[in-house]
Amino acid sequence: MPHYTCLPVAGYAIRVAPGEKIDLREHDPARHDGLKREDALAALDRFQLELAELQEELYGAAQHSVLVVLQGLDASGKDGVIRRVMNCMSPQGVRVESFKVPTAEELAHDFLWRIHRVVPRKGMVGVFNRSHYEAVLVERVHNLVPKATWKKRYAQINAFEEVLRDGDTIVVKFFLHVSKSEQRKRFVEREQDPDKAWKLAVGDWTEREVWNENRRAYEDALSRCSTDAAPWYIVPADRKWFRDLAVCETLVQTLRAYREQWRDALREISRQRLAELAGITERV
Amino acid sequence: MPHYTCLPVAGYAIRVAPGEKIDLREHDPARHDGLKREDALAALDRFQLELAELQEELYGAAQHSVLVVLQGLDASGKDGVIRRVMNCMSPQGVRVESFKVPTAEELAHDFLWRIHRVVPRKGMVGVFNRSHYEAVLVERVHNLVPKATWKKRYAQINAFEEVLRDGDTIVVKFFLHVSKSEQRKRFVEREQDPDKAWKLAVGDWTEREVWNENRRAYEDALSRCSTDAAPWYIVPADRKWFRDLAVCETLVQTLRAYREQWRDALREISRQRLAELAGITERV
């Protein structure tokens, strides 16, 4: 099937080991491993070709679903990753779910209810723009729930994600790691571009006042909820082209492990279909 | 905003006038208006740039939703249009709904129930891979419901689509018109390519036995349900590159009519946001 040579994986995103204690100040958001922009874009093209093919095999075999969780502060590039990485796959096999401030109906349920009802079915790639992690991020940082409530949620999230994995969902979680100075630069750019100013949110600047609280909340989510069932990856996000490459490469690396299994399943489906067709004697 | 010159519209897809009586034998599925493949692909690129921009404005302004209905016989290219045309837009703003054989739950409701609950919200592009029209196509051709039932549905569909339009949904319906010989060619290709055989459906060949019944059912749907609120377009689909260009061009042409309105809305949002930001005196 491949119409290209598979690129080797460089590991641009950092996988958090289960139980590893993360200090985000030790991770450089501007890291780019000496890569040049043009080379990164060329590599991204190659990985996207492969990701598109893997998605088609996932879709056809329908043995697994894929859940991509995107988290990160404002202007860290969640929308950009969706627009520039995910669009290599057929829109038919990808469903993006954006989680905003919970509605009244959502608040009338437990914190995982609105999440669980939209997890991807087999064959599909679900992309979560924000996710259940907001329940241990914004809700913690802004005291929207008591500490006793959010403290229990780490284990509850791990149990939930294990259920997803046991239901044949491949879970990959990305934290887009942007620096405070790069975030400022992006806010100012939006403000000065009349075509982009509508993307500004009122809380953008005020949220920077709790930068360290947000950092610590992310550190706890990364440290406590990176499991074999659902690993977290830290993505340096100050350079958009490195961020996109790191996300795409990680997805390809993750899905490659299933390729042979999916191809076997597709060959089996093909065999069955051809056998059924052989029974049709007359073809108009 | 535009970083390109807008291409003029050639009208490659045929818009069915309200009340027009359609005879599909008068429409050539191989029509390509003398266009060459390379030129069509270049034009498609240009229209896709514009469609991507229009989608972003639709998303930001969130004043309308867009519903794209794709209908056509097996191998007419519904999946191909989704993969090759719709992927120019951010996956965040596009949601594809594929309607298969109704589930028990869906059959326990009226024929529009499963359709209505997944129409796109404002800002979004909904793409229906098959649709409520199956209720006057497969259900008619295979006598799944009495004639008295499907005959009433044309008016019911028109009333439903008028409600969508009045709810600010821009409805565009495409019939992908493939010839019987081209369909055969594509079936045989799938059968002979071990990487594509899994895409074969058992009913593919037998459905050709009711080719004329399907044609007449489509003719009635096109003739009775092309309205100002929700026009039908006939897309020559024997050449994939011409089909993709015709669909993309029609979408661009349809959405261009709203561009100024959306840009005004975005400018107003930008003004409000900047005014709110001006109130923040200290910026950390």
Looking at the DSSP bridge assignments, the partners of residue A126 are A67, A95
The predicted pLDDT at position B3 comes to: 55
Query: How many CB pairs below 8 A link A and B?
Result: 113
**Chain centroid to CA B6: how far?**
22
Per-residue pLDDT at B2 exceeds 60: no
Q: What is the mean pLDDT of chain B?
A: 95
Residue A129: list chain B partners with CB under 8 A. Answer: 92
The predicted pLDDT at position A3 comes to: 55
Report the gap between the CA of A93 and the closest CA in chain B (Å): 8
Pairwise CB contact (< 8 Å): A205 & B277: yes
Per-residue pLDDT at A257 exceeds 70: yes
- Per-residue pLDDT, averaged over A22-42, amounts to 97
- Please write the tens of the pLDDT for every residue from B188-215: 999 888 788 888 877 888 999 999 999 9
Within 8 A by CB and 6+ apart from B274, the residues are A191, A197, A200
- Per-residue pLDDT, averaged over B213-242, amounts to 98
- Per-residue pLDDT, averaged over A164-176, amounts to 98
Fold type of domain B14-281 = Rossmann fold (3.40.50)
Q: CB–CB of B82/B96 below 8 Å?
A: yes
B57 C-beta neighbours (distance < 10 Å), count: 22
Which B residues in the span 12-31 are in contact with A, Cβ-Cβ below 8 Å?
Answer: none
- Please write the tens of the pLDDT for every residue from A64-106: 999 999 999 999 999 999 999 999 999 999 999 999 999 999 9
Report the gap between the CA of B269 and the closest CA in chain A (Å): 5
The predicted pLDDT at position A4 comes to: 62
The predicted pLDDT at position A277 comes to: 84
Q: What is the mean pLDDT of chain A?
A: 95
Pairwise CB contact (< 8 Å): A194 & B79: no
Pairwise CB contact (< 8 Å): A274 & B95: no
Pairwise CB contact (< 8 Å): B199 & A60: yes
Select the residue from B90, B95, B262 to test the A interface by mutation, using most A Cβ atoms within 10 A. Answer: B90
Any chain B CB within 8 A of the CB of A275?
A: no
Report the gap between the CA of A13 and the closest CA in chain B (Å): 23
pLDDT band at B4 (very low <50, low <70, confident <90, very high): low
Residue B79: list chain A partners with CB under 8 A. Answer: 90, 92
pLDDT band at B153 (very low <50, low <70, confident <90, very high): very high
- What totals of helices (H) and strands (E) does chain A contain, helices first? 11, 6
Q: CB–CB of A174/A80 below 8 Å?
A: no
Interface confidence, given as ipTM, is 0.92
pLDDT band at A230 (very low <50, low <70, confident <90, very high): very high
Report the gap between the CA of A213 and the closest CA in chain B (Å): 14
Within 8 A by CB and 6+ apart from A137, the residues are A71, A214, A217, A218, A221
Q: CB–CB of B79/B247 below 8 Å?
A: no
Pairwise CB contact (< 8 Å): B86 & A91: yes
Per-residue pLDDT at A1 exceeds 70: no
pLDDT band at A9 (very low <50, low <70, confident <90, very high): confident
**What 8-state DSSP symbol labels residue B73?**
S
- Among A201-210, B51-60, B66-75, B149-158, the least confident range: A201-210
Any chain B CB within 8 A of the CB of A213?
A: no
The predicted pLDDT at position B284 comes to: 77
Pairwise CB contact (< 8 Å): B194 & A270: yes
Q: A253 vs B282, which has greater pLDDT?
A: A253
Residue A205: list chain B partners with CB under 8 A. Answer: 277, 280, 283-284
The kind and range of the H/E element at B68 are strand B65-72
Distance CA A102, CA B18 (A): 43
- Per-residue pLDDT, averaged over B225-253, amounts to 98
Per-residue pLDDT at A174 exceeds 90: yes
The kind and range of the H/E element at B237 are none
Q: Which of A274, A237, A215, A266 is nearest to A85 (CA)?
A: A237
